[in-house]
Amino acid sequence: MSIDPGLLGAHLREHEVNPAAAARVERAGYGTLWLDASPPADLALAEELLDATTRMVVGTSVVNVWTADADTVAASYHRIEARHPGRFLLGVGVGHREVHTEYASPYDTLASYLDRLAADGVPAGRTVVAALGPKMLRLARDRTAGAVPGMVTPEHTRQARDILGTGKLLLPGHFALTEPDAERARAIARSAPPGTALGITNYANNLRRLGYTDDDLAHTGSDRLIDALVAHGDPATVATKLLAHRDAGADHVGVYPLGDDPIATLLAVAEAVHAVKAG
């Protein structure tokens, strides 16, 4: 059974989501709810969110190989799959050297983690990788259903599709804020990821590959970089910027909501995207 992630995904952290919020996101038309920020290996919250919804996929973005034991994750996958067949997508990733003191050999570590999941019966077709660079994208292509990159632009999506080829899921995430005042939108973005995440090596290296300079990456980001990473403006403008990932080869666009009320942002974005698509 293949998984359909839908046109839109909602990226939320544990403190931003609960079963009632998940149901609202589903009613707004999101095909997937991504549980962000290294959820624990028991995946209990993912199961609660699936219990509260009827059709929406729930995915992890992402389970961290340094903090979540692969055997426990595999057992959690099988428990969830038995209860909600075809509605759970396991995203895995290697985290960041700035956070994990044990960080080393990220490619080999992730490949070994995928080996353990496979040995425990987790299908490759239900796993995706938080891949940014070409080497990790090739691993995602060869060993899993595809990639779930974050902090990326439509240009990265074009390049990633070239590497993944056809038949693999490409599920990029993009920050969004329905704020028509550009200076206010940039200030909000700089006080949260993406602005606060530009010092993370994995993200910075990927942005340099895309042509951004040290000046762009300095402090909390140049206007040019913030505007590339955050879809901001009136709702129609935000929707058009997000849908540029689809034009670049994405199967689905994940929305990282910014602002004081992430659920409200998600609802406004969904309404705008559906209006643009209908028009």
- Residue 124, token pair as written in the block: 């490759």
Q: Which CATH architecture has domain 8-174+235-258?
A: Alpha-Beta Barrel (3.20)
What pLDDT score was predicted for residue 96? Answer: 67
Taking 50 as the pLDDT cut, the residues of the chain under it are none
Calpha distance 234→199 (Å, rounded): 29
Calpha distance 26→196 (Å, rounded): 29
Calpha distance 2→81 (Å, rounded): 13
What pLDDT score was predicted for residue 211? Answer: 98
Q: In Å, how far are 65, 92, 118, 162, 187 from 102, measured between CA atoms? A: 11, 17, 23, 32, 34
- For residue 272, give the nearest of 247, 237, 244, 232 by alpha carbon: 237
- SS3 state at 171: coil
- Residue 169, token pair as written in the block: 């899921």
What pLDDT score was predicted for residue 101? Answer: 63
Calpha distance 276→101 (Å, rounded): 45
- Residue found by looking up tokens 């970089």 in the block: 225
- Residue found by looking up tokens 């990326």 in the block: 152
pLDDT one-digit tens code per residue, 70-91: 999 999 999 999 999 999 999 9
What pLDDT score was predicted for residue 99? Answer: 62
What pLDDT score was predicted for residue 2? Answer: 79
What pLDDT score was predicted for residue 98? Answer: 58
pLDDT one-digit tens code per residue, 121-163: 999 999 999 999 999 999 999 999 999 999 999 999 999 999 9
- For residue 6, give the nearest of 25, 21, 19, 164 by alpha carbon: 25
Calpha distance 100→97 (Å, rounded): 5
